[in-house]
Chains A and B, each alone.
Chain A
Amino acid sequence: MELELRGITKRFGSLVANDHIDLTVQPGEILGLLGENGAGKTTLMNVLYGLAQPDSGEIRIDGKPVVIHSPKDAINAKIGMVHQHFMLVPVFSVAENVALGVEHLRTIWLGRMTIGGRSFPGIPIPTTLFDRQRARRQVRELSERYGLRVDPDAMIEDLPVGVQQRVEIIKALLRQANVLILDEPTAVLTPGETEDLFRVMRELREGGRSIVFISHKLKEVQSIADKITVIRRGQVVGERPPTATDAELAALMVGRAVELRVTKEEATPGDVVLDVKNLTVSGGILPTETDPGRNVVDDVTFQVRAGEILGIAGVQGNGQTELCEAIMGLRPAMGAVHLAGRDVSYATPRDRLRAGIAYIPEDRHEDGIVADFSVADNLILDTYDRPPNASGFAMNLPAIRKGATSLVDEFDVRTSSIDTPVGTLSGGNQQKVILAREVGRKVRLLLASQPTRGLDVGSIEFVHRRLVRERDSGVAVIIVSSELDEIYALSDRIAVMYEGKIMAFRPPTVPVTELGLLMAGADPKASDTEELAEEVEALYDRPQADDESPPGADPPVDGPQRSSE
């Protein structure tokens, strides 16, 4: 079935989310829909799925115009959608979830029997009982046909995210979807799960179904799509084959040439700014006879000098988060932390901030911003009680507004005004607000944890440039990232963390294999690690930009989560 969008326009107030968008999806084709956050991808798909009504334009299926007023119409038109947030009932089984809304009822055949080789079907008695067997059968059939590997009897809440996503796909397939819309499907997946999803997508394509794959990650779109359509500010700005280069696609997406890897001069390290000695954070579990307990940060010692960037690499969950929080005084720790010669081991978070640490927390929404507060208020979150923002107990609104206006300009925060709630901004702009707040004051040390997680290409470029600029102005910078690309692009020195320990320090010229081995806790010098080295290499050579990869992007791909399938 051929799906065609003609001149779709959707306005929200003065904002044009979709501006005369034309799009065609052929049968058996994977269309990559590429665009930055807020470019209008999701809105377009909501229009297609009947969740929003277009102001003008039409949707055609096999050349015939159709009207889609609700998801029900979309399902009837054989369009299926897998949302960013899954619509599953956690305490129901896979089969029950899949059947939800299209349940078949059981029929009892009264008097069904076989007499002398002839079978009598009996009298059908309709019931109001849910035909669970049929739902299970359907799930099993579909999952076999497309290699989806889902147990129909598993409870949704017990399944890993990747499998839940497959359940959503089965749901759509069961409703005979010929066109499947996947809205940022890889955002919640680990690299291994992403590979699995791509395999399923290819199977579906072989089966003649079309897929619209929405993403802002270049590498993913390049590796899976047959055709790439780029959307910027609500308009289609180009169509490219998947062979198009990164730089070309990025430039289309952002609207200008983008530096995918920040250029920087050689570092000129100065005095030691941060001196961490034997820092240890307890895991919070008391040792028992069988379990000696474990420190989440284990005897970590390092120094950072003014004008250098120390990159802390490691798979998420190896103590990086706790290390940052311990340095900030947000988590009780043993050991010593000196900032520019001053002992701040027992200082409160506020004292450490005031002593000149800028902190970009890993969990932006939870720790970095107050979503309901305006941009201006978020910009003074840690300086609200200092001049010029306040004198005594009274806040100085004009000064706060003036400061906010100049920071918004300097950091290119795209917001309609400084009174806009920060929660309505895109992730990139929220991060710019945090960055502006933290380095807007005088700092000695910049501690940035996963600074570009979930950001689009343009914002990543901005954040990276700014981090390098801080380094060049003599600030000591620590970048914690599970993203090797980022570690390589920014670091002057790389520290690798594994199970709470710093395994080694390496220069940024270290081969990716060695770094990968260190991240997996292996000693690259040892001889029995060759096999592991190959695995690691295979993993990191994968075409993926898992800049949103959640915890768990761990090298041994066949971890325990597979067993639950």
Chain B
Amino acid sequence: MTEDASGPPANTAPEASTPASGSTSGGPGTPPRRGLRGLDREIINSITHGSPAVVTILAIFLALVIGALIIAFSDTTVLHQFNSFFAAPGAAISAAWHAVADAYSALFEGAIFNPHTVSAAFHGGSVGAIFYPLSETAAQATPLILTGLSVALAFRAGLFNIGAASQWIGGAIVVTWLGFGVSLPPVIHVIVCLIGGFIGGAVLGWIVGDLKARTGAHEVIVTIMLNYIMYNMLSYLLGTHAALQQPGQSNLTSPNIAANAQLPHVGGPPPQVGVGFLVAIAAAAGLWWLLERSTIGFEFRTVGANPSAARTAGMSVPRTWVLAMLIAGGIAGLSGAVAIQGQFLSLNFQSYGTFGFDGITVALLGRAKPLGVVLAALLFGALNTGGTNMQAATSVPVDISKVIEGLIVLFVAAPMLIRLLFRLRSTHGGGMEAVAKGWNG
């Protein structure tokens, strides 16, 4: 209590300086207790109680503006024009405008909708082609939705799941093995693989939750370490013939999974919606129900918002941690499953990608809510798909779309900046708080 500057003195009586007096909490006058747990709660609060949607939209806008500046000033033609800016300012500006417009329209056409496909459809082209960009975006978003949900669920229970990457690997290893090593009839094989993926991730999540519940090990440290372990484990398994390595190969790659285990697509090629996407949407809906409408979710949310009150109300906080991490891990494992079964068909370091870590940003952007996560993942999917198209159509590298993604999250995380720039009035913290904040407020 002594380091608590504005708290009341622990005790004034000399004989009362027992351990008891040290552990008694202050009166209502004490400010919220600090310490690591308090900090955790503050961070999670700021994520889930973030800013209104308008801030997110403005953050996306601002990120696109900055992205535009980077595009314009990394373009050699534009730079050349700017050398003679004072001689012909119009030319320089129009060159910049063209560079940006070309890049962004390519981004948009690649991710969402290409007007040329409509006119092509009228002239005998494929109607399906109109929806091709959207289907690509959905495919790109699918694993992200699931890893985002995994991180979001943990957030809601007050846990930082930095380990979606390791859980993804856990799921993917099980799925790959079940995919090529086992022979099962069509539909059953797919389902067995999905369940296997869930279990693979869930085991890793359970390890984290159980360690925290039993020993108090902080989940951030445990998950980061498990990320290293699983990454190198993957490398080992992919390099061992007795394990996952494709026979006759020296590359770190597994054989393709059996056709029966592959996730089918709905709607004929080329525009197609993978069943994996439907699985991800179903997982989001299920998770919403779990969090908002079930008693388990009520426990998760209570433990996340105030573990002391949860304990006092008779909930088992450690049990909740274990269960939350188990489900979170399972969903990340499911992400590995749909990525392997629906997209990559074999496991290697290219399919491993960065889904686990992108899941954290997606969960942040989606404010740890299932619908928000789906929307955020779709946005990232669109930026990824569009970025590839942008690189193909213009000379702008695909990395620009990654920069934009990073900027969006940065601005969402710094809502004050957005408020200042766009002169928004704060809805929190202003007047109402001043009224409600009596001494007991």
Residues of A near any B CB (own CB < 8 A): 12-13, 15, 17, 37-38, 40-43, 46, 51-52, 84-86, 88, 90, 156-158, 160-161, 164, 184, 187-188, 190, 192, 216, 283-285, 294, 296, 315-319, 321-322, 328, 330, 348-354, 359, 361-373, 377, 381-382, 384-385, 390, 393-395, 397, 424-428, 430, 453-455, 499-500, 521, 548-557, 559-561
Contacts and interface: CB of A to CB of B under 8 A. Distances in A.
Interface in B397-441: 431-432, 434-441
Given A296-B20, A367-B311, A548-B28, 12 more contacts: A15-B432, A38-B435, A84-B439, A161-B7, A349-B311, A350-B315, A353-B314, A393-B296, A425-B436, A500-B18, A556-B13, A557-B12
Contact of B28 (A353, A364, A553, A557): A364
B50 to A, nearest CB: 13
Nearest to A363: B25
Contacts of B441: 37-38, 424, 426-427
13 contacts: A13-B432, A37-B440, A38-B435, A41-B438, A43-B435, A51-B434, A318-B16, A321-B20, A349-B311, A362-B25, A363-B308, A551-B21, A551-B26
A160 B432 CA distance: 31
Contacts of A397: 293
B312 A37 contact: no
Nearest to B8: A550
A499 B18 contact: yes
Nearest to B431: A12
Main secondary structure, interface of A, reads loop
Interface in B309-359: 309-316
Interface of B: 2-3, 5-16, 18-21, 23-33, 45, 49, 293-296, 298-299, 301-302, 305-306, 308-316, 431-432, 434-441
Contacts of B296: 393
Contacts of B299: 384
A92 to B, nearest CB: 11
A46 B6 CA distance: 21
A190 B19 contact: no
A37 B436 CA distance: 8
B431 A554 contact: no
B438 A37 contact: yes
Contact of B45 (A372, A377, A500): A372
B359 to A, nearest CB: 24
A37 to B, nearest CB: 4
B18 A427 contact: no
> Among B9, B30, B33, B306, which residue has the most Cβ atoms of chain A within 10 A?
B9
Contacts of B306: 366, 369-372
B438 A190 contact: no
A381 B309 contact: yes
A264 B306 CA distance: 37
A296 B19 contact: yes
Contacts of B3: 157
Contacts of A557: 12
A52 B435 CA distance: 11
A6 B309 CA distance: 45
A157 B299 CA distance: 38
Contact of A393 (B30, B294, B305, B432): B294
B5 A384 contact: no
Contacts of A161: 6-9
Contacts of B313: 353, 381-382
Given A366-B25, A381-B309, A548-B27, A188 B315 contact: no
Contact of B435 (A15, A362, A430): A15
Main secondary structure, interface of B, reads loop
B434 A330 contact: no
A315 B20 contact: no
A359 B11 CA distance: 26
Contacts of A85: 6, 31
A339 to B, nearest CB: 15
Contact of A550 (B23, B26, B294): B26
Nearest to A562: B12
A283 B439 contact: no
B439 A37 contact: yes
Given A367-B308, A427-B28, A548 B439 contact: yes
Contacts of A156: 5
A190 B18 contact: no
A550 B29 contact: yes
Given A366-B33, A370-B302, A427-B440, A348 B435 contact: no
B30 A317 contact: no
Contacts of A430: 440
A371 B305 CA distance: 8
Contacts of B14: 556, 559-560
Contacts of A158: 2
B12 A187 contact: no
Given A190-B8, A559-B12, A52 B438 contact: no
A393 B294 CA distance: 5
A155 to B, nearest CB: 10
A192 B295 CA distance: 48
A184 B30 CA distance: 14
Given A190-B12, A550-B30, A561-B12, A390 B309 contact: no
Contact of B298 (A190, A395, A426, A454): A395
A90 B5 contact: yes
B12 A560 contact: yes
A346 B438 CA distance: 41
Nearest to B26: A550
Contact of A42 (B294, B298, B437): B437
A364 B308 CA distance: 11
A552 B439 contact: no
A283 B16 contact: no
B304 to A, nearest CB: 9
Nearest to A192: B12
Nearest to A87: B6
Contact of A372 (B8, B18, B305): B305
A294 B431 contact: no
Nearest to B306: A370
Contact of A367 (B293, B295, B312, B316): B312
A476 B178 CA distance: 61
A521 B16 CA distance: 11
B310 to A, nearest CB: 8
A522 B29 CA distance: 30
A373 to B, nearest CB: 6
A213 to B, nearest CB: 14
A187 B308 CA distance: 24
A382 B316 CA distance: 12
Closest 7 CB pairs of A and B: A427-B440, A350-B314, A550-B8, A559-B12, A37-B438, A554-B13, A296-B20
B6 A188 contact: yes
A535 B13 CA distance: 14
Contacts of B15: 499, 521
Contacts of B439: 37, 84, 184, 187, 216, 427, 454, 548
A243 to B, nearest CB: 26
Contacts of B45: 372
A321 B20 CA distance: 9
A426 B312 contact: no
B431 A13 contact: yes
A462 B246 CA distance: 75
Contacts of B16: 315, 317-318, 499, 554
Contacts of B26: 550-551
A348 B317 CA distance: 12
A296 B9 contact: no
A454 B13 contact: no
B24 A46 contact: no
Nearest to A425: B436
Contacts of A294: 18-20
Nearest to A11: B431
B409 to A, nearest CB: 23
Contacts of B435: 12, 15, 17, 38, 40, 42-43
